[in-house]
Amino acid sequence: MPLQKDEVIECSIESLAFGGRGVAHVDGMAVFVAGGLPGDTVTARVVKAKKRFAEAALESVVTPSDRRVKPKCPHFGQCGGCAAQDLEYGEQVAQKAAQVENALRRIGGVEGFAMDAPAPSPVVWNYRNKMEFVFEQRADGLHLGLRANLPAGEKGLAPVLDIEECHLCARRDVEILRAAREFARASGLPAFDPSENSGFWRHLVVRHTSLNEIMVHVITGEETRHYARAEELGKALVDRFPDLTSFVHSSRARRSLAASGEKTVFRLGARAVEEMVEHDGRQARYHIGPNAFFQTNTAGAGELFGTVREFGGFTGTETVLDLYCGIGAIGIFLADKAARVIGFEISEEAVAKAWSSAKLNGLDNCEFAVGTLDTDANLKALPENDVLVIDPPRAGMHENTARAILELAPPKIIAVSCDPATLARDVKRLSERYELKRARAVDMFPHTHHIETVALLELK
């Protein structure tokens, strides 16, 4: 008899699925148990029953896994920022690597290859260089923190949890969070309400680089009559935290909940902060603006960029094409081992920082262009190259991009991805002309379900 909604079952957790849920089998059916860890025997309540699988919420742990550990954070279980603090770190990495391999085989249709040993994060706690905190207005007042963890089976926008402690970022970042929350509450101005598309305070983004430069970026609505309060927040934070490098106030009109500004309103201090990535004797420095994408784990970025460097087998004669290059992070890290680096990115702000970062490193063999990689005009203009590096957004490369790469046919492709499923799909798209040679899971996000992967494909 198939499982029924609200039925309570006992099962043994075998592994973790991508997303962090435990995987069990009951009468041959896969059951995804939120909160279950590999090695656990648990009771769980079915919250969704389908023909081929079921989803369940943990009721109790009958026999705990020997890989369970005590969570470090008092918010664990309530906060949605972490999903696996209760699983020993080595097992976290092993499970994530298995998820990558499973996706490449099952979705990518790849056989006959061996995964490289995964690369764990060099730093397991306080590793994040960027935190995106969100404001929320509720009946009991204004809140600022991270989204709570939604119970299994529930959908929608989780409420904001006023965190007082976080072990993913620097302590100073949490102190800044508390001060900003205190100021925003005292201001009397409401937080943004996405359902009404109204309200002022939207996001607080804190960047903290390995060189101890700190940028605070507050994002608000467009009500110009309230801009003075955001300026006052900046001055208050600079007074309280004199080590701040930069404060930026941006406005955002769009209803979407992205933590990025559309127009800079006010600035104190520097326009950008400086970051440095190191790996195996190579150092590269970067200018990072308020809206720029950069890997959130600086030490982990060294492992990631180092893996790209290793897979490329550079001799110093190669032309490298870096697609979705952002601020040029990977290309700049490779530039001392390449004859030429050419980067493409849709964001003008990011490309400007890529040029300034190349100059910061004394590089004269890098060039960057602004343009989308979805249209035929730009894709047909892509230059010939020896190594193509591609690090697309979570959704993966556009179908037009994959088609253009097949026509361009570079000898090597190094694909970087933060989603195993979309990476596997893209590998399959390229499989008519390319063979997957190596893949390595690189953990940039300890205690969460996220994982980066670097894959090497070579022209058949």
Q: Which fold has domain 92-123+297-459?
A: Rossmann fold (3.40.50)
pLDDT at 361: 98
CB under 8 Å to 184, separation ≥6 — which residues? 135, 142, 144, 191, 201, 233
Determine if residue 391 is labeled as part of a ligand binding site.
Answer: yes
pLDDT at 28: 87
pLDDT at 1: 66
Q: Is the dihedral of CA 429, 433, 438, 442 positive or negative?
A: negative
pLDDT at 100: 97
Determine if residue 295 is labeled as part of a ligand binding site.
Answer: yes
pLDDT at 170: 96
pLDDT by 10-residue block (mean), the chain, 460 residues: 88 94 93 95 94 93 96 95 95 97 96 92 98 97 96 85 97 97 98 93 98 98 97 98 97 93 96 97 96 96 98 97 96 97 94 97 96 77 92 89 93 97 96 96 97 97
318, 323, 327, 333: CA torsion to nearest 10: -30
pLDDT at 186: 98
Q: Same CATH topology for 92-123+297-459 and 130-271?
A: no
Tokens of 29: 């059916």
pLDDT at 153: 72
Cα gap 81→161, rounded to integer Å: 10
Q: Domain residue spans in the chain?
A: 8-63, 92-123+297-459, 130-271
Angular region, 186: left φ>0, alpha ψ -120 to 50, beta rest: alpha
The architecture that CATH gives domain 130-271 is Beta Barrel (2.40)
Name which of 314, 200, 179 is nearest 247 in CA terms.
179
Determine if residue 324 is labeled as part of a ligand binding site.
Answer: yes
- How many CB atoms lie under 10 A from the CB of residue 445? 24
Q: Among 11, 166, 169, 418, which one carries the catalytic annotation?
A: 418
CB distance 70 to 87 below 8 Å: no
* 418 carries an active-site annotation: yes
8-63 CATH, one of 2.30.30.100, 2.60.40.10, 2.40.50.140, 3.30.930.10: 2.40.50.140
